[in-house]
Every structure is written in structure tokens, then in C-alpha cells.
């Protein structure tokens, strides 16, 4: 589908109706990272992620035909009114208005809940924006419009809220960004990776070490923009592109060692881009580095398939197959939790259902 296929005329929606819709959407972690974008949220390189199970956002959206001139939006996080979230939602609604023109005709009340602790440092934009986009697809149904490919439409809308959110609408391994290795890949929306995946990668655990709880010092938006005029940008985009092919091969053949090498290199490359931006910034904390070194030593000594990846933050995602859980979990508990600010981790898993 191309961009104009997502434009929907106001006439197909019955904007006299009111109602309520709810949706749940998980977070995801990129294995090949998206870092750098062009307007409007077009990635400078393709990415592949794993969708999680236990870290999700639940959102309920109440919609009423608007009473005043301007549309009114109220946002609640758990039971608390969160006026600080409103500008972000308004910006998102403005961005998607050409595709969802009914938005300007409604007042909204949005209630949202994250399964993971608030300000744990876990990015809620992927799960939050995709949950809201799923709500909009359901709202559209209630207004009389059913998209031909609703999940793809949810992904398209999510992307305009937060790039990585477009991958969260699918389970398992997901690709976003046009490339020659994934048929039907697009810059406009994500698609599930249809490659025949080796069973070892289907029951992966993702334990998130909460090294630093609280918000990060530099937002992803600022970080993406710093890739413009970045001295290593072109090399990075090219490498990420090539890593799509490499990762697909690794996933097909069940190459655990290759998986670890590629995924860790991707994580460290992401942070290297931050450190070599102008102005430079560092999102890892001393405990991030200390824990990563422990992981490397443990792997060297035990030959266990324990790998890490990093998001744009200080927390560490530990990736390991189900088979290794018995040995790896005690190691995490005994040796790694000490690096976490409050001694806590989130024990998540990949979802392929």
C-alpha cells in the first residue's frame, strides 16, 4: 500500500456517534536498531524487533462529538489526570488528521495504564502509541468504516506517533523499513517477518535490568535528529541495512552465536552514535557498563547463550533461549540485580502467538 491508500474521506465516518473502545499493545525491543529519520517518520534504515508479552499498555478511549470550537482531550494515567501528556496526543492527532479526519470532530477522554512500573525507564511510547492507534481502528469501525487491512492501518498510524510503535501491532519478529530482503517491507508501516524461524528463537526470554529508573536526559526525537550531519551516519545506515540480511539468515539457521554478535554490535553501535553526535550524549550509566562486562565474563566462562541489547537508555535487555533459563536466571538474581537501582528486573518473553 502507498501513502494515499491510507487517506480516508470524512464522508465514510458517521461523526454523530459516540462510544468507547479499548485496546492493549505490548512494547518491543529492536534487534537491528532504527536510529535516524526523515520527515514524516520515515526511517533512514530498516529495523527488526521482537514483540514482548508482559510489558504492555492498556488504553480506553471515550469519544463524544465535540461541543466547543476546538476538540478537547483529557488524559488519565492510572487514576491521575496527566495534562502533560495532552500536547503529545494533540500533535499525534494533528499528524494523522489527513488519514483520520473525524478526529477534529470529537472530544476525547483517554485512560491509560502500563503493566510496567511508571518511570521505570521503560519506553512507553511504542506500547502507548500502538495501543492508541488500535483504539482508533476500533473507533473507526464503530463510526461505520472498516479498513481493508486494519492491523496494517494501525501500524501506519502508530508510526506517525512514534516510529518504533509501528512494530508493536504484530507479535513475534517484525520488520519496519523498505529493504530487498523482506517481501512487502515498507517505510510506512511494519510487517511480520515471514521467514521460517528456527525454533530456538521462538521462546526467547527478555529480562530487563532496571539499571536506572526515571526519564532519560535526551529524548529519542533529539537523538534521531542528531543523525542528520552525523559523521558516521551513512556507514551506520548501510551497516544496519546489511544486518537485516544477516539477521534473517541467523534466525533461519538457528545460529545463536551469530545472533549474539550481531545483536550486541547493534546495541553498542546505537550508543556509539549517541556518543559521537554533536552535541554528544551518553545514556548508559556506570552500572550499565559493569553489568555488560559481567555478562561477557559469564558467557566466556560458562558458554551459556546469554546476550544483551540496549534501548535508548541505561537499562539492559538480557536475551536468552528458554532452554538456558535454569542456569541464567540464578546468575541474573545473584550477580546482576545488584547493578539495578532498586534491585529489580522485569522478566519478559517474546510473543509469537
Contact positions vs ligand PMV (CB under 6 A)? 30, 33-35, 47, 125, 162-164, 220, 270, 311-312
Instruction: Kindly list the distances between the CA atom of residue 84 and the CA atoms of 74, 77, 146, 196, in Å, as whole numbers in the listed order.
Output: 10, 11, 32, 44
Residue 233 C-beta: closest distance to ligand PMV, Å: 15
Alpha carbons within 13 angstroms on the beta-carbon side of residue 96 total 25
Q: Which is nearer to ligand PMV, 140 or 155 (CB)?
A: 155
Helices 86-96 and 150-161: angle between axes, nearest 10 degrees:
130
Taking the complex as a whole, how short is the minimal distance between the CB of residue 35 and ligand PMV, in angstroms?
Answer: 6
- Indicate the residue among 163 and 260 with the shorter CB distance to ligand PMV: 163
Minimum Å gap between C-beta 328 and ligand PMV is: 24
Minimum distance from residue 163 beta carbon to ligand PMV (Å) = 4
- Rounded to whole angstroms, how far apart are CA atoms 130 and 167? 8
Partners of 20 in beta bridges: 62
Partnered with residue 50 across adjacent β-strands are 29, 173
CB of 190 vs ligand PMV, minimal distance in Å? 11
Number of H helices, E strands in the chain: 8, 13
Taking the least distance from each CB to ligand PMV, the nearer of 15 and 263 is 263
- Nearest residue (CB) to ligand PMV, 176 versus 339: 176
Per DSSP, 97 falls in state T
Task: Give the nearest distance from C-beta 70 to ligand PMV in angstroms.
Answer: 27
Output 47 or 191, the one with its CB closest to ligand PMV. 47
Contacts of residue 200, defined as CB under 8 A and 6 or more positions apart, other chains included, come to 254, 256, 321, 323
In b/e form, how buried is each residue of 234-263, taking b as 16+ CB within 10 angstroms? Answer: eebbebbbebbebbbebbeeebbeebbebb
Which residue, 44 or 164, is less far from ligand PMV as judged by CB?
164
Amino acid at each position: 500500500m502507498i501513502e494515499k491508500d491510507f487517506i480516508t474521506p470524512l464522508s465514510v465516518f458517521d461523526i454523530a456517534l459516540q462510544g468507547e473502545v479499548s485496546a492493549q499493545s505490548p512494547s518491543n525491543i529492536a534487534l537491528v536498531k532504527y536510529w535516524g529519520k526523515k520527515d514524516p517518520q520515515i526511517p533512514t534504515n530498516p529495523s527488526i524487533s521482537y514483540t514482548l508479552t508482559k510489558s504492555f499498555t492498556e488504553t480506553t478511549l471515550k469519544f463524544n462529538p465535540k461541543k466547543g470550537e476546538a476538540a478537547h482531550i483529557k488524559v488519565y494515567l492510572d487514576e491521575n489526570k496527566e495534562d502533560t501528556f495532552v500536547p503529545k496526543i494533540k500533535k499525534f492527532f494533528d499528524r494523522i488528521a489527513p488519514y483520520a479526519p473525524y478526529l477534529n470532530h470529537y472530544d476525547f477522554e483517554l485512560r491509560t495504564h502500563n503493566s510496567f512500573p511508571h518511570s521505570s525507564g521503560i519506553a512507553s511510547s511504542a506500547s502507548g502509541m500502538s495501543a492508541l492507534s488500535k483504539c482508533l481502528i476500533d473507533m473507526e469501525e464503530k463510526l461505520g468504516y472498516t479498513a481493508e487491512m486494519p492491523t496494517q492501518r494501525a501500524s501506519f498510524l502508530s508510526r506517525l506517533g512514534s516510529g518504533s510503535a509501528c512494530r508493536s501491532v504484530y507479535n513475534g519478529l517484525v520488520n519496519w523499513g523498505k529493504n530487498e530482503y523482506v517481501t512487502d517491507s515498507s517505510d510506512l508501516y511494519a510487517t511480520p517477518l515471514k521467514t521460517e524461524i528456527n525454533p530456538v528463537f521462538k521462546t526467547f526470554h527478555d529480562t530487563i535490568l532496571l539499571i536506572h529508573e526515571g526519564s532519560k536526559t535526551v529524548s529519542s526525537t533529539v537523538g534521531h535528529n542528531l543523525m542528520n550531519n552525523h559523521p558516521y551516519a551513512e556507514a551506520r545506515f548501510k551497516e544496519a541495512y546489511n544486518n537485516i540480511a544477516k539477521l534473517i539468515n541467523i534466525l533461519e539457521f538457528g545460529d545463536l552465536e551469530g545472533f549474539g554478535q550481531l545483536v550486541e554490535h547493534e546495541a553498542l553501535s546505537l550508543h556509539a552514535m549517541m556518543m559521537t553526535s554533536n552535541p554528544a550524549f551518553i545514556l548508559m550509566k556506570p552500572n550499565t557498563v559493569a553489568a555488560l562486562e559481567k555478562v561477557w565474563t559469564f558467557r566466556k566462562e560458562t558458554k551459556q547463550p546469554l546476550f544483551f541489547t540496549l534501548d535508548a537508555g541505561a537499562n539492559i535487555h538480557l536475551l536468552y533461549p528458554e532452554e538456558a533459563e535454569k542456569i541464567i536466571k540464578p546468575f541474573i538474581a545473584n550477580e546482576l540485580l545488584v547493578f539495578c537501582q532498586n534491585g529489580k528486573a522485569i522478566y519478559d518473553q517474546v510473543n509469537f502467538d
